[in-house]
Amino acid sequence: MSSLSDTELIPTPPPSENSANSVAGIDQALGDFSYDVKYALDAGTGLTEKTVDYISAVKKEAPWLREFRMNALKAFFAKPLPTHWATRDLENINFDKIRYYLASGQKPKRTWDEVPEDIKRTFERLGVPEQERKYLAGVEAQFDSEAAYSNIREVVSKQGVIFLNSTAALREHPDIFRKWFGKVIPTGDNKFSALNSAVFSGGSFIYVPPGVKVSHPLQAYFRINAENFGQFERTLIICDEGSEVTYMEGCTAPKFSTSTLHSAVVELVALKGAKIQYITVQNWAPNVYNLVTKRGLALEEAVIKWIDCNIGSHLTMKYPGAVLKGRKARGEVLSIALANDGQHQDTGAKMVHAADETTSNIIAKSISVGQGRSTYRGLVHIPRHLRGCRSNTECDALLINTNSRTDTYPAITVRGDLNSVQHEASVSKVSEEMIFYMQSRGLTEGQAMSLAVNGFVNDLVRQFPMEYSVELKRLIDLEMEGSVG
Amino acid sequence: MSQLEIKALHVNLAEREIVKGITLTVKPGEVHAIMGPNGTGKSTLAKAIAGHPDYTITSGEVLLDGRSLLEMEPDERARAGLFLAFQYPNEVPGVTIANFLRAAMQARLAEGEELDATGYYKQLYAKMDSLKIDHKFTSRSVNTGFSGGEKKRCEILQMAMLAPKFALMDETDSGLDIDALRIVSDGVNTLRSSTLGILLITHYQRLLNYIVPDFVHVMYDGRIVRSGDKDLALELEAKGYSWVKKEIVHA
């Protein structure tokens, strides 16, 4: 397939940078686990026009795209860090030490048997549940920057669905890609969307033709497997009129001692009557800065639904949103965030009502453990001229320890008399009495904590596909393991 | 021989001595009722034996089958065969009774051993049938929005499933109307067996009309001031707690 030709061209990295394989022999003692992988394609560290040129050349991109990247790079340099509202912790990201492009240099594999053993071993360690093993034959698994494995596209292509990595899609379906690319989230939306627009690599492209309902959820796994390696995937999903798709993204990463940046951009386009559900369960290593921009555009009677679970990372800033542009469009965000010691989950949702009778629903639950900090930021905007719009926000925070922290910053602007809005917020604490009650039934303190936290998020988790709720429960158990004592 | 031995137990709550030397032995198959006025240390005794962190044992010993409970965490005591039925059971929002009990049973298995789900549900439903509890009950979140009677039935169901050697039942009758009281005491009577020892804490004699004890102990100001058989409870009912104060304590 022509989309695989990336690997045929191996240009020399910019000479001023570190040698390509300097990250290959990672010190195993540094963290959890990592397998020796030869990085054949590497843009070196730091970010200049040369880096962007290199990425564009490796991907044999059209001139318009190279120009798009260059403009984005300028926007990135020009924009200040958003520390006037966000945490100053962002200043600790050293953009010169980050590796902006890295591919494994392997062709994407067509069958599971062809997937290298060390990658399989990593999946094993990530604990992909048994229920999912059967799906693995259909998994689009991104191994570092490029997809290491994919074949579900053959199944869905029978329905006329296009499911490719974004590099291949730009080459094979430039017209439809370009029509919506950067339209939901413009390059200059924020500093990190600009960064992604400059150096993006990997991510998925999905186009679902009119009326097609994709029966199987499409899946992708992302992880970071190299120290100082930033991952900048770009995902664009377009559901044509009356079509439906569910996309699931799972992220886990091995631990490393220095900071890593993940900055994705995900754009969803739901045309008239279409329905897109985007599910993320992620568990970044505790040194990752996870700064992601996710937004969907919903036309008439279309539905955008984000299910977003943030566990791990050093700092996550993510506010999935929907622009409700057509009459009766609906946007929904269900989110769970768990902030452990040293972690800050700054998450929330944005709902922009731009047509009559649009509805939005935000349910956000956060858990703060130890000195973990969770922040909810919500934006709901309903302008004066609209009528019949409804919006509901519920945000609940659970504090595990007395030194945990949670903050809520809802920004709700509703004008006009013909719209309705609800906002509810609660903060609760796992009480000593509740833990004692559970312990008196034979559960250890850690098991009791896990159960309390799982109970807190249960009504949201029930809406997840089975295999994801199982995975999420295990992630919570793992996080709570070390939180007592 | 299996037994729960409480020996000269002294318990403090916030630096204040509440239990002032209690000695009592419960054997399997026995039901001991502890009666006494409010604030006399009955609930403190139960919580301290179960290991509530607010209570400090200043001296004395509690042995279950000869093993000291006092060095154990509350969950270790539970796994050793102790059960505390709470006066005010806590809510565990979002956790169904079925999942809660399953986790509690799983916690009793050795590391790496997986609870057989089919067997578990079979056992759960059989216990519910014998206690006349609707199967739908198990899908409700533990104690969340329960009536007083439902909370107590939930406690009884847990006790039935966890099959303790010794159960401490703290004011099982509190907050119950007469119908609920009958239902709950029927449950306890169903669970009475030669392998279970029960320490039943109550303020009112009326519970003992339904659960007939083998021994009755009257507790006053942190001590057991008189022990007897079930007739002692009737005497106490007839004469009131003021009799305890005047005739027993100051005698």
What is the interface pTM, i.e. ipTM, of the complex?
0.96
Can you tell me whether residue A484 is helix, strand or coil?
coil
- Please say if the pLDDT value at position A139 is more than 90: no
Place of tokens 């074949």: A151
Question: What pLDDT score does A373 carry?
Answer: 93
Question: What pLDDT score does A482 carry?
Answer: 62
- Cα–Cα dist A248/A266, whole Å: 12
Residue A454 contacts residue A473 (beta carbons within 8 Å): yes
- Please say if the pLDDT value at position A136 is more than 80: no
Q: Do A443 and B107 touch (CB under 8 A)?
A: yes
Nearest chain B alpha carbon to A428: B93
Residue A182 contacts residue A197 (beta carbons within 8 Å): yes
Q: Do A439 and B108 touch (CB under 8 A)?
A: no
Helices B117-130 and B148-162 pack at an angle, to 10 degrees, of 130
Structure tokens at A307: 């299910």
Specify the range with the lowest mean pLDDT, choosing from A72-81, A133-142, B140-149, B200-209: A133-142
Q: Is the dihedral of CA A18, A21, A23, A25 positive or negative?
A: negative
Q: Do B162 and A441 touch (CB under 8 A)?
A: yes
- Picking from A437, A439, A456, the nearest residue to B93 by CB comes out as A456
Residue A295 contacts residue A324 (beta carbons within 8 Å): no
Structure tokens at A208: 């679902």
Nearest chain B alpha carbon to A455: B94
Question: What pLDDT score does A468 carry?
Answer: 72
- Please say if the pLDDT value at position A117 is more than 70: no
Q: Which amino acid is at B45?
A: L
Average pLDDT over residues A139-167: 62
Average pLDDT over residues A100-107: 59
Average pLDDT over residues A34-55: 73
Average pLDDT over residues A450-470: 84
Question: What pLDDT score does A165 carry?
Answer: 80
Place of tokens 């609707």: B134
| Per-residue exposure over A171-197, b if at least 16 CB sit within 10 Å of its own CB, e if not | beeeebbeebbbebbebbbbbbbbbbb
Residue A22 phi, psi (nearest 5): -65, -15
- Please say if the pLDDT value at position A187 is more than 80: yes
pLDDT in tens, B14-48: 999 999 999 999 999 999 999 998 899 999 999 99
Q: Which amino acid is at A372?
A: G
pLDDT in tens, B57-115: 999 999 999 999 999 999 999 999 999 999 999 999 999 999 999 999 999 998 889 89
- Please say if the pLDDT value at position A108 is more than 60: no
Nearest chain B alpha carbon to A430: B92
Q: For A300, what's the count of Cα atoms within 13 Å in the CB-facing half-sphere?
A: 2
Q: Which amino acid is at B206?
A: R
End-to-end CA distance of chain B: 37
Average pLDDT over residues B165-169: 97
Residue B209 contacts residue B41 (beta carbons within 8 Å): no
- Cα–Cα dist A406/A393, whole Å: 17
| Residue closest to B45 by CA, chosen among B73, B67, B26, B23 | B23
Residue spans of beta strands (DSSP E) within A229-355:
234-239, 244-252, 260-262, 265-270, 275-284, 288-298, 303-312, 315-318, 321-324, 330-339, 344-353
Q: Domain residues of chain B, as ranges?
A: 4-249
Interface mutation target, options A440, A450, A458, chain B, most CBs of B under 10 Å = A440
- Superfamily assignment of B4-249 in CATH? P-loop containing nucleotide triphosphate hydrolases (3.40.50.300)
Q: Do B92 and A452 touch (CB under 8 A)?
A: yes
Residue A122 phi, psi (nearest 5): -65, -45
Place of tokens 């094979």: A172
Planar angle of CA A139, A143, A149, nearest 5 degrees: 35
Nearest chain A alpha carbon to B164: A441
Question: What pLDDT score does A286 carry?
Answer: 80
Chain B contacts of A432, Cβ < 8 Å?
53-54
Nearest CA of chain A to the CA of B54: how many Å? Answer: 10
Residue A332 contacts residue A297 (beta carbons within 8 Å): no
Question: What pLDDT score does A480 carry?
Answer: 78
Question: What pLDDT score does A290 carry?
Answer: 93
Altogether, the residues listed in chain A come to a count of 485
Q: Do A442 and B100 touch (CB under 8 A)?
A: no
- Cα–Cα dist A217/A321, whole Å: 21
- Please say if the pLDDT value at position B50 is more than 60: yes
Mean residue pLDDT of chain A comes to 80
Question: What pLDDT score does A282 carry?
Answer: 79
Residue A256 phi, psi (nearest 5): -135, 160
Tell me the pairing of strands A146-149 and A140-143.
antiparallel
Report DSSP state, residue A5. Answer: G
What are the residues whose beta carbons fall under 8 Å from the beta carbon of A409, sequence distance 6 or more? A348, A375, A376, A377, A378
- Please say if the pLDDT value at position A474 is more than 50: yes
Average pLDDT over residues A40-64: 85
CB atoms within 10 A of CB B160: 22
Helix (H) / strand (E) element for A78: namely helix A63-78
Average pLDDT over residues A430-450: 94
- Picking from A433, A439, A457, the nearest residue to B75 by CB comes out as A439
Q: Domain residues of chain A, as ranges?
A: 2-318, 432-485
Average pLDDT over residues B198-208: 91
Specify the range with the lowest mean pLDDT, choosing from A7-11, A158-162, A269-273, B236-240: A7-11
In chain A, pLDDT over 90 holds for what percent of residues? 49
Structure tokens at B238: 């007839």
Chain B contacts of A458, Cβ < 8 Å?
94-95
Residue A365 phi, psi (nearest 5): -125, 135
Question: What pLDDT score does A88 carry?
Answer: 93
- Cα–Cα dist A429/A453, whole Å: 10
The DSSP annotation for B166-196 comes to EEEEESTTTT--HHHHHHHHHHHHHH--TT-
Specify the range with the lowest mean pLDDT, choosing from A44-53, A328-337, B86-95: A44-53
Question: What pLDDT score does A4 carry?
Answer: 35
- Cα–Cα dist A452/A468, whole Å: 19
Question: What pLDDT score does A65 carry?
Answer: 95
Interface of A with B (CB under 8 A): 431-434, 436-445, 447-448, 451-452, 454-459
Specify the range with the lowest mean pLDDT, choosing from A253-262, B70-79, B173-182, B212-221: A253-262
pLDDT in tens, A371-408: 899 999 999 999 999 999 999 999 999 998 778 889 88
pLDDT in tens, A306-329: 999 988 889 999 999 999 999 999
- Cα–Cα dist B22/B10, whole Å: 7
- Picking from B89, B100, B107, the nearest residue to A444 by CB comes out as B107
Place of tokens 């002032």: B20
Question: What pLDDT score does A484 carry?
Answer: 58
Chain B contacts of A439, Cβ < 8 Å?
51, 73-75, 78
Helix (H) / strand (E) element for A449: namely helix A445-461
Report the Cα A298 to chain-centroid distance in Å.
19
A117 vs A197, residue with greater confidence: A197
Nearest CA of chain B to the CA of A135: how many Å? Answer: 24
Specify the range with the lowest mean pLDDT, choosing from A53-62, A346-355, B222-231: A53-62
Helices (runs of H) and strands (runs of E) counted in chain B: 9, 12
Place of tokens 């100053």: A88
Q: Do A443 and B53 touch (CB under 8 A)?
A: no
| Residue closest to B140 by CA, chosen among B173, B184, B95 | B95
Chain A contacts of B101, Cβ < 8 Å?
441
- Picking from A432, A447, A455, the nearest residue to B107 by CB comes out as A447
Question: What pLDDT score does B90 carry?
Answer: 95
- Cα–Cα dist A461/B149, whole Å: 30
Question: What pLDDT score does A285 carry?
Answer: 75
- Please say if the pLDDT value at position A128 is more than 60: no
Question: What pLDDT score does B179 carry?
Answer: 86
- Cα–Cα dist A155/A163, whole Å: 10
Specify the range with the lowest mean pLDDT, choosing from A118-122, A218-222, A268-272, A391-395: A118-122
User: What residues form DSSP beta bridges with B167?
Assistant: B83, B198
Q: Do B78 and A432 touch (CB under 8 A)?
A: no
Structure tokens at A107: 């062709």
Q: In chain B, how long is the greatest CA-to-CA distance?
A: 60
What are the residues whose beta carbons fall under 8 Å from the beta carbon of A206, sequence distance 6 or more? A161, A162, A163, A218, A236, A237, A238, A245, A247
Report DSSP state, residue A402. Answer: T
Chain B contacts of A455, Cβ < 8 Å?
92-95, 141
A49 vs A226, residue with greater confidence: A49
Average pLDDT over residues A292-308: 97
Chain B contacts of A434, Cβ < 8 Å?
90-92
Interface mutation target, options B44, B54, B55, B90, chain A, most CBs of A under 10 Å = B90
Q: Do B51 and A440 touch (CB under 8 A)?
A: yes
| Per-residue exposure over A66-101, b if at least 16 CB sit within 10 Å of its own CB, e if not | bebbeebbebbeebeeeeeebbeebeebeeeebbbb
Average pLDDT over residues A174-181: 95
Question: What pLDDT score does A79 carry?
Answer: 96
Q: For A423, what's the count of Cα atoms within 13 Å in the CB-facing half-sphere?
A: 12
Chain B contacts of A444, Cβ < 8 Å?
73, 75, 107
Can you tell me whether residue A58 is helix, strand or coil?
helix
The DSSP annotation for B116-130 comes to -HHHHHHHHHHHHHH
A253: confidence class by pLDDT, cuts 50, 70, 90? very low
